[in-house]
Amino acid sequence: MGGIQAKILKTSVDKLEPGDILYDTEIKGFVARALPSGKVSYGFRYRNGGGASKWLSLGIHGSAFTAEQARTLAKKRAGEVADNRDPVAEQEQARSEAKKEKLSGTNTVNAILDAFVKRHASKLRSQDQIEHAFDAYVRPKLGPKSIYEVKRSEIVIMLDGVEDEAGPVMADRVLAHVRKAFNWQAARDDEFKSPIVRGMARTKPKERARKRTLADEEIRDVWKALDNAVEANAVPPCYPRFVKSLMVCATRRTESARMHSSEIDGDVWTIPGERYKTKLDHVVPLTASMRALIGEKPKGNNSNSWFVFSTTHGARAFSGFSKAKKALDSEIAKIRKVEKRDAMPRWTLHDLRRTARSLMSRAKVPTDHAERVLGHVIGGVRETYDRYEYLDEKRDALEKLAGLVELILNPPADNVFQLGAAK
């Protein structure tokens, strides 16, 4: 073991024992070291213009990097030193510039989320929900940061804030969207590793399955608060109509929010399969209650088609869900405070769909027809062979639902307690 002087060639390198150092006799500073592991490392030692000793690693001997390749590289570095250059300093500068490039705007969390939405999320029916999660919770906390600098602790702090503001289920939804975006980036970026790990979720799958339905009193509170919110200019005029449609049609939030006049034919609304959960067209018979919510063509609209629930005269669908829901909850809280009642337990817009299904059972709507109103596929043989649309049956179910909602909103004076108890 020790220093050996000889021309560095494959034959001489193959004879090295662990601990041996081979100094090349032709290129000053060119060295081959036999490591304890048995591998051989090539390097180049030199002094820079200030007289400081520097060591530059050239690579590890193997099939992908031979002694001849190492010699060529050492000769090139020796030439750079002869020209008063400092190869080590130049490498450090290059790494520093590469790091700065990573920290530039093209690699911020905002930029990655933009790219993810454009190339992936835009093809999904859940695009609106994904963008809302990013805009409301992720961008304000992490948006300007480089993706290479996002830490696990920052993800956790962000989720803590979501949980405090909107509950643990929403925190898990945000986590799922961010995880997918970061994994999408990791598949395209050799150097990025997602900071999201196991154990960040706030709930278990069974806990995320909500069962909340609104009691009669709560339904009355929501309807009254919607009217109050419009009068206070806290929500746009289209918002009460939109929220009520979720109940009287038993639809999902985005399905109603993106309702378009082109989808309406007489008293039938057909939600196209490309924006419906089952990927099948869903036909909704329009009751008198729902037709009243749809209304007429918006003033100021110069086209022949429009989004029914819109703040831009039908040009774009309503999308300010979070802000409007907060305003609605605030109005509900005011009503209950004045009447000295307890605060209303946390609820979501999707709970209205679940409530509508419960009310249909209460109105004695047959189970299959109620499920068809919700767009649920009836399994088994019927799913394959039964192509009947059940329009009359669904219309009857929705009429009974509308009638029961009306009775809840305007109960006979001597029957208020009875309706609440029936719930």
Query: What are the Cα distances from residue 288, in Å, to 293, 306, 335, 372, 390?
Result: 9, 20, 29, 20, 19
Go through 300-321 and write b for each residue having 16 or more CB atoms within 10 A of its CB, e for each that does not.
ebeeeebbbbbbeebeebbbeb
Rounded to whole angstroms, how far apart are CA atoms 187 and 193? 9
Do 231 and 363 reside in the same domain of the chain?
A: yes
Domain at 200, CATH number:
1.10.150.130
**What is the strand order of the sheet 40-47 is part of?**
3-5, 21-23, 30-34, 40-47, 53-60
99 in a structural domain: no
Rounded to whole angstroms, how far apart are CA atoms 11 and 1? 17
Do 173 and 269 reside in the same domain of the chain?
A: no
pLDDT confidence of residue 378: 65
Q: What is the pTM of this model?
A: 0.59
Residue type, 100: K
Distant-in-sequence, close-in-space partners of 184: CB < 8 Å, separation ≥ 6: 116, 120
Do 160 and 266 reside in the same domain of the chain?
A: no
Residue in 404, 421, 395 with CA at minimum distance from that of residue 359: 404
Do 265 and 354 reside in the same domain of the chain?
A: yes
pLDDT confidence of residue 300: 82
121 in a structural domain: yes
- The domain in which residue 242 lies consists of 216-422
Both tokens of residue 25?
């006799």
Do 54 and 178 reside in the same domain of the chain?
A: no
DSSP per-residue codes, 280-299 = S-EEEE--HHHHHHH-SPPT
Do 176 and 286 reside in the same domain of the chain?
A: no
Do 72 and 171 reside in the same domain of the chain?
A: no
Rounded to whole angstroms, how far apart are CA atoms 78 and 138? 50
Residue in 17, 102, 30, 125 with CA at minimum distance from that of residue 69: 30
Domain final position from 66, 91, 116: 91
pLDDT confidence of residue 96: 76
Do 60 and 197 reside in the same domain of the chain?
A: no
Q: Where are the beta strands (DSSP E) in 243-393?
A: 264-265, 268-271, 282-285
Do 245 and 389 reside in the same domain of the chain?
A: yes
Do 118 and 228 reside in the same domain of the chain?
A: no
Both tokens of residue 255?
């399905």
Q: Provide the domain count of the chain.
A: 3
100 in a structural domain: no
Do 192 and 73 reside in the same domain of the chain?
A: no
Distant-in-sequence, close-in-space partners of 92: CB < 8 Å, separation ≥ 6: none
369 in a structural domain: yes
SS3 35: coil
Both tokens of residue 333?
């809280």
14 in a structural domain: yes
183 in a structural domain: yes
Domain final position from 91, 121, 137: 91
Query: Angle 203-144-161 (CA atoms, 0-180°, nearest 5)?
Result: 30
pLDDT one digit per residue (tens) for the chain, 423 residues: 568 999 999 999 999 999 999 999 999 999 999 999 889 999 999 999 888 999 999 999 998 899 999 999 999 999 999 999 999 999 888 877 766 665 556 789 999 999 999 999 988 878 888 998 999 999 999 999 999 999 999 999 999 999 988 888 889 999 999 999 999 999 999 889 999 999 999 887 765 566 889 999 999 999 999 999 999 999 999 999 999 999 999 999 999 999 999 999 999 999 998 888 888 889 999 999 999 999 888 888 888 899 999 999 999 999 889 899 999 999 999 999 999 999 999 999 999 999 999 999 999 999 999 999 999 876 554 444 444 578 899 999 999 999 999 999 998 876 554 444 444
Domain final position from 34, 65, 91: 91
Give the burial class of 116: count Cβ atoms within 10 A of its Cβ; 0-12 exposed, 13-18 middle, 19 or more buried: buried
Residue in 197, 333, 310 with CA at minimum distance from that of residue 261: 310
Do 360 and 249 reside in the same domain of the chain?
A: yes
Instruction: With beta carbons less than 8 A apart as the criterion, state whether 325 and 229 touch.
Output: no
